[in-house]
Amino acid sequence: MEVTANTAAENEELWGGGNRPLKASYGKLMMWFFIVSDALTFTGFLVSYSFSRFKNINSWPIADEVFTHFPFLHGIDAPMYYVALMTFILIFSSVTMVLAVDAGHHMQKSKVTFYMLLTIIGGAIFVGSQAWEWKNFIKGEYGALETRGGQILQFVDASSGKRAAIQEFAIGIETDRSTHQSSNGIWYSSEKALPTVTLEEVKKGFIADENLVIRTQQLNEKGQKTVLSRAASMGKLNEAIGVVEGANLIHNEYGNRLFADFFFFITGFHGFHVFSGVVINIIIFFNVILGTYERRGHYEMVEKVGLYWHFVDLVWVFVFTFFYLV
C-alpha cells in the first residue's frame, strides 16, 4: 500500500503540477480557455464586418452622422460624444476591478466590496447606455426613401447644407391609412407599423420646397455622401418605392443595410456579455459581503471574474475602433 501511494504521488508531480498546472488553479485555466474561445468568436465577427465594409466601402454609413445623440441635449449635433463617454465608463470599471482584485490579494474585505460596487455601477451604466443607443438607432432621426435596388435617398437643405427630416417638409394628403392585422390581413399575416408619412406626401413636399435636394448613400472622392443637383434630385425621386424611418435588420435609413445587421449583432452580443458580467459581479459582490471568501482564505473568485471583465472591456475597444472610429 505504501509503495502504491508513493507511486501515485510521483505520477501526480510528473503529470503537470498537481492541482495547479502552469502555477494556476483549474478555475483560472478554465476561464482562460473560455476567453480564448470567445476571442476567436469575436474575431470572426469583426473580420466578417471588415470584409463586408471593404466590399461596400462606397456606400457605408459615416459613423459621425449616425451616432450624434446625447442624453438631454435634443437637437444638438454631438457626433460620437456619448459613445466616447460610454467607452470611458467601461474602461474605468476595468480599473476598479483591478483595484478589487488587488484588495483581495491583501484580504481587505471593505475595499473589495467598495471597488466591486463601482465596477457593477459602471457596467450597469454601460448596458443602459447601449440600450439607449439602440433605441435612437432603431427610431431614426431624419427618415429617408428607399429605391427598388435598395439604395437610400436622404434629403438636404441646399441653403444650409444640413439634413432635412421628411416629417418636417412632407405635405399631408388625406387618405385612409390602416395597418393590416392578422385577423383581416392578406394570408392572415400582420403588417409592420406604418411610417409617419407616406411616399406621396414626401414627394409632394419635396416638389414644393425648391431648397431641398437629394443626397445618395454613395461616397465621393472626399469621403462624403454625394449631393445631387435639384434637377437630378427630381429624377432620382421617381425611383423611390417607400419611406424608411430608423434602422432594423431589413431597412436602414443611414445607408447600407449590412451596417445595421452587423451593428445589432456584434454590439448586441457584446452587450449580452457585459450584462452577464454585471450579474456575475452582483453575485460575487454579495458573497464578499457575506464573508464567503474570507472564510475560504482567498479571493480567487474575484480574480476569475476580473479576467472575464477585462476581456469584455478589451473586446469593446476593438468594437469601438471598428464601428465608430475607422
Q: Which of 108, 175, 133 is nearest to 320 (CA)?
A: 133
- Per-residue pLDDT at 30: 85
> First and final CA of the chain: distance in angstroms?
67
Answer yes or no: is 254 within a domain. no
Are residues 31 and 123 both part of a single domain?
yes
What is the Cα–Cα distance from 294 to 41, expressed in whole angstroms? 36
For 27-56, b/e burial (b = at least 16 CB within 10 A) is: ebeebeeebeebeeebeebbeebeebbeeb
- Per-residue pLDDT at 159: 85
What's the pLDDT tens digit per position in 61-118?
A: 888 888 888 888 777 778 889 999 999 999 999 999 999 999 999 999 999 999 999 9
What's the pLDDT tens digit per position in 210-220?
A: 999 999 988 88
Q: Which range has the top average pLDDT, 1-10, 159-168, 182-191?
A: 159-168
243 in Cβ contact with 202 (< 8 Å): yes
What is the Cα–Cα distance from 213 to 206, expressed in whole angstroms? 8
Q: What is the average per-residue pLDDT within 47-71?
A: 90
Q: Which helix (H) or strand (E) holds 216?
A: strand 212-219
Answer yes or no: is 58 within a domain. yes
Q: Which of 22, 114, 112, 94 is nearest to 296 (CA)?
A: 112
Are residues 152 and 127 both part of a single domain?
no
Are residues 50 and 76 both part of a single domain?
yes
129-138, 186-195, 222-231, 301-310, range with the lowest pLDDT: 186-195
Q: Which of 182, 202, 319 is nearest to 262 (CA)?
A: 319
pLDDT(294) > 50: yes
Domain boundary residue among 198, 218, 245?
A: 245
Are residues 44 and 123 both part of a single domain?
yes
3-state secondary structure of 303: helix
What is the average pLDDT value for the chain, to the nearest integer? 86
What is the Cα–Cα distance from 28 to 34, expressed in whole angstroms? 10
pLDDT(16) > 70: no
Are residues 136 and 149 both part of a single domain?
no
Are residues 205 and 72 both part of a single domain?
no
Are residues 287 and 149 both part of a single domain?
no
- Per-residue pLDDT at 269: 95
Domain containing residue 311: 25-140+259-325
- Per-residue pLDDT at 187: 54
What's the pLDDT tens digit per position in 169-219?
A: 888 776 665 555 555 555 555 556 677 888 999 999 999 989 999 999 888
What is the Cα–Cα distance from 207 to 169, expressed in whole angstroms? 10
The residue that leads in pLDDT, 15 or 68, is: 68
**All residues at 6 or more sequence positions from 76 whose CB lies less than 8 Å from its CB, including other chains:** 70
What is the Cα–Cα distance from 299 to 70, expressed in whole angstroms? 39
Are residues 169 and 106 both part of a single domain?
no
What's the burial of 166, exposed, middle or buried (CB within 10 Å: 0-12/13-18/19+)? Answer: buried
- CB atoms inside a 10 Å sphere around CB 301: 18
Are residues 274 and 127 both part of a single domain?
yes
Structural domains of the chain, count:
2
